[in-house]
Structure 1
Amino acid sequence: MTFVQLIDCRTSRFDEMNRLMDRWVEQTKGKRTATHDIIGKDRSDSAHFIEIVEFPSYEDAMRNSNLPETDRIFQEMVALCDETPTFTDLDVVRDEQLNVLAARAFFGAMGKMAPERIGDHLTDDYVDHDPSYPQPVQGVAGVREQYAGWRAAFDFTFRIDDQMAQEDQVCTRWTWVARHKGEFLGIPATGQDVSMQGMTWQRFRDGRICESRWLYDRAGLLEQLGVLGQ
């Protein structure tokens, strides 16, 4: 079970503490078991800081605490604090990566939702980078038209094969499965079942996608439709 430790402290010497943390990261390289570390400053009290440290488990946290480097750094950290820091130990019982869920909702809706609903997933200033188009598509209206064209040409769904998230970004590896039902790039409907694999990098703002970069095998799709490789 993922374990999180909250370290609540007050200090007027944060720059020194920041350098101390950099030294701890360097000294424990290859030894530490912490997987994520965030330090936040109280907006209403500039001397109040909370550090959030994530570990794969409580046992991993204890191994990290027992490192001699960690003990030395902790003693120096206490000396930089205005008062003794407090610790809160938490077992994580729910962990939702909200941008990942938003990306899943987007791909789950693609091919099913009407074109006028695509804006539900996008910011007004959305930018779409697709190698099939010479210039990025700007704004919801342009993407709506783009999506309507794909939907008119294919009955399709996306299967999510893998996802990775970092800060405000999500990368999704997917498989697209479709039936060619209408004209596509001048190719009349063939009724052919086709598929593609690809990846999409997306950036999020306030729960909506503000930018996407697509990578997929368009040549392979055209080959399946009988245009290439003959």
Structure 2
Amino acid sequence: MAGFVQIIEYRTSKPDEVAALGDEFQKSREADNDSAVPGRGMTCADRDNPGRYFTIVEFDSYDAAMENSKRSDTSEFAAKMMELCDGAPTFYNLDLLQVQGTKN
């Protein structure tokens, strides 16, 4: 199975602003009919550790993820995101090996 997943772990006291920024970024890419939009993205809050969040983004491949990372709009988004975070994020870069189930 091909695929790549990036998990970004971060802390913020401004989750609503982070969500708005993410929505704005996604709408901008969609408005441009941009094929570089990741396949799926999720943002999760840690129930056991308030203020801790994870964004999970799926890509078709590692190469597609790295191309996305090199884009100027991605760099701009990341810089704005850092302003809303309480410290530096941690990135996990994962090769997708298996998916079970089809529930979304």
TM over 0.5: yes
* 8 Å CA contact 2:13, 2:51 repeated in 1: yes
- Mapped to 1, the partners of 2:76 and 2:65 lie a distance apart of 16
* 8 Å CA contact 1:33, 1:63 repeated in 2: no
Given residue 22 of structure 2, which amino acid in structure 1 is its aligned partner? M
**Are residues 1:57 and 2:61 paired?**
yes
- Mapped to 2, the partners of 1:16 and 1:33 lie a distance apart of 21
Q: CA deviation at 1:94?
A: 1.2
- Mapped to 2, the partners of 1:33 and 1:21 lie a distance apart of 12
Residues 3-18 of structure 1: pairs in structure 2 closer than 5 A: 3-18=4-19
Match of 1:92 in 2: 96
Range with greater deviation from structure 2 (9-18 or 66-75)? 66-75
- Mapped to 1, the partners of 2:92 and 2:49 lie a distance apart of 20
* 8 Å CA contact 2:7, 2:55 repeated in 1: yes
TM-score, normalisation: structure 1: 0.42
Q: CA deviation at 1:19?
A: 0.5
- Mapped to 1, the partners of 2:19 and 2:56 lie a distance apart of 14
Q: CA deviation at 1:33?
A: 3.5
Q: Which has the larger radius of gyration?
A: 1
- Mapped to 2, the partners of 1:70 and 1:27 lie a distance apart of 11
- Mapped to 2, the partners of 1:87 and 1:44 lie a distance apart of 20
* 8 Å CA contact 2:38, 2:58 repeated in 1: yes
Q: CA deviation at 1:53?
A: 0.2
- Mapped to 1, the partners of 2:18 and 2:44 lie a distance apart of 13
Match of 1:24 in 2: 25
Q: CA deviation at 1:95?
A: 1.2
- Mapped to 2, the partners of 1:35 and 1:88 lie a distance apart of 17
Unaligned residue ranges in structure 1 (runs of 5+): 101-165, 168-230
Higher helix content, 1 or 2: 2
- Mapped to 1, the partners of 2:100 and 2:48 lie a distance apart of 27
Give CA deviations for 1:105-147 in whole Å, capped at 9, x if unaligned.
xxxxxxxxxxxxxxxxxxxxxxxxxxxxxxxxxxxxxxxxxxx
Match of 1:2 in 2: 3
**Are residues 1:40 and 2:44 paired?**
yes
Residues 161-172 of structure 1: pairs in structure 2 closer than 5 A: 167=104
* 8 Å CA contact 2:44, 2:53 repeated in 1: yes
How many aligned residue pairs are there? 100
- Mapped to 2, the partners of 1:41 and 1:88 lie a distance apart of 17
- Mapped to 2, the partners of 1:26 and 1:39 lie a distance apart of 16
* 8 Å CA contact 2:29, 2:37 repeated in 1: no
Given residue 5 of structure 1, which amino acid in structure 2 is its aligned partner? Q
Q: Provide the alpha-carbon RMSD of the alignment.
A: 1.2
Residues 1-230 of structure 1: pairs in structure 2 closer than 5 A: 1-29=2-30, 30-31=33-34, 32-97=36-101, 100=102, 167=104
SS of the residue corresponding to residue 17 of structure 1 reads helix
